[in-house]
Chains A and B, each alone.
Chain A
Amino acid sequence: MYQFRLSGGVRMRALIAAATGLAVALALVLTITALGSPTGETSPKPLLTTVPAHP
């Protein structure tokens, strides 16, 4: 049976790799949510007082 045991140095490198992945994911999501979406401007179209022919 093959024993899968990590030495101290390998364990540290794996931990750093995992932490990097987590940090990048957090940074990406925080950036996207902070940017949000542009608000735009109020439509120049009027409130309708005639029946439109189509949508």
Chain B
Amino acid sequence: MRRKASLILLALAVFFAALSPLLRWYAFPRLAKIPPNQYQDMVLEAKDATLLDYATMQARKVPKVTIVQTLKGNVEESEKIEKTAGKDVVVWDGLSYVVGPDGEMVSQIPERYIFDAHTQEPVHATGEMVDGDPVRRDGIEFKWPFLTEKRDYEYFDAQARVTAPIHYKGTRDFRGVDVYYFEQTIPWTKVPMPKTMPVEGVTPESIAETGTTRWYTTVRKFWVEPLTGAPVYGEEIHEEELRGGTLLGDRDKVTAFAGHVKMREDYIKSTVDLVNSNRTLVLLMTSYLPWGFLILGALLLALSLYLEARSRRPADPAGVETAAPEPVSA
């Protein structure tokens, strides 16, 4: 009986011991992925910003400019691309919608970002674009890979349509979460005019005819939770200028936008909560379960060996019985 139990325990010990590395190095990389139907929105604000009034072509101080960013997973498109790419693909249709202090649209930039659901590496397919212009991303955008490393990454800048390094600058504590801090500086770069302008009748083509060009620089900052690769917070020190041409009269340049863009407080809280819950799931797969299974396997093996040893211990000497005492009669 003990021998049977020790064999069962041995089988269980091997089962759990094998499950430990299989879960961490086989199952986790295959199961950890961005769902193709994810929908998320984010609100960022630039308080006391400078904004160009296109009616007067004068820059003015405004109390607040709001950026509403939406990302929507396009399941049908991802399934189409998966057939040729041969891997799990996510297609994010995004919109960055900028609203002025009066609630009117300042600019809107749609984009399509196609990437590997597991590694977040960009996937190139027809439809990859920013504001209708075909682009080729050679770096990540919006999200870092699972198990982010302490190193620089290539990050795609949608305004300049270029991929440039985003530098790892150290580990920080952000509201109780250990995060990696990344920073990217895009120097002054000539960028295309948005296809949709805030003033009716003004088009990128009509501005181009005046010889005026749009320039942009930014310092982009991300605080990234390394297990999930999700940014818990982001900031941008963003400046845009219109330069040259007849549109500006005798001026060389005018500020189109300047502001320190930060995530809105309620969105920071909800992002931190979401990342914390996803972080627990990743920890379960990469740490808690593998280590737990390994320890359980070792304990079961020890118990199995103990039972096996007990079953082999020599039995008490047979046939030695103590005789019942005889009644003594006087």
Binding site for B on A (CB under 8 A): 2, 4, 10, 13-14, 17-22, 24-26, 28-29, 32-33, 36-37, 39-43, 45-52, 54-55
A25 touches B15 (CB 8 A): yes
Q: What residues of B have a CB within 8 angstroms of the CB of A19 in the complex? A: 14
Closest residue of chain B to A39, judged by CB? B36
B37 touches A43 (CB 8 A): yes
B7 touches A54 (CB 8 A): no
Q: What residues of B have a CB within 8 angstroms of the CB of A51 in the complex? A: 43, 66, 68, 99, 103
B309 touches A4 (CB 8 A): yes
* Bound Cα distance from A38 to B266, whole angstroms: 30
Q: Is B205's CB within 8 Å of the partner chain A?
A: no
What is the total of A-B residue contacts with beta carbons within 8 Å?
119
Q: What residues of B have a CB within 8 angstroms of the CB of A45 in the complex? A: 39, 72
Q: Is B302's CB within 8 Å of the partner chain A?
A: no
A-contact bits for B71-84, CB 8 A (1 contact / 0 none):
01111101100000
Given the interface pairs A17-B7, A47-B95, the reply to whether A40 lies near B43 with Cβ below 8 Å is no
Q: What residues of A have a CB within 8 angstroms of the CB of B39 in the complex? A: 43, 45
Closest residue of chain B to A3, judged by CB? B312
A52 touches B43 (CB 8 A): yes
A54 touches B312 (CB 8 A): no
Q: Is B30's CB within 8 Å of the partner chain A?
A: yes
A55 touches B37 (CB 8 A): no
Q: What residues of A have a CB within 8 angstroms of the CB of B119 in the complex? A: none
Closest residue of chain B to A44, judged by CB? B39
A22 touches B37 (CB 8 A): no
Q: What residues of A have a CB within 8 angstroms of the CB of B22 in the complex? A: 25-26, 29
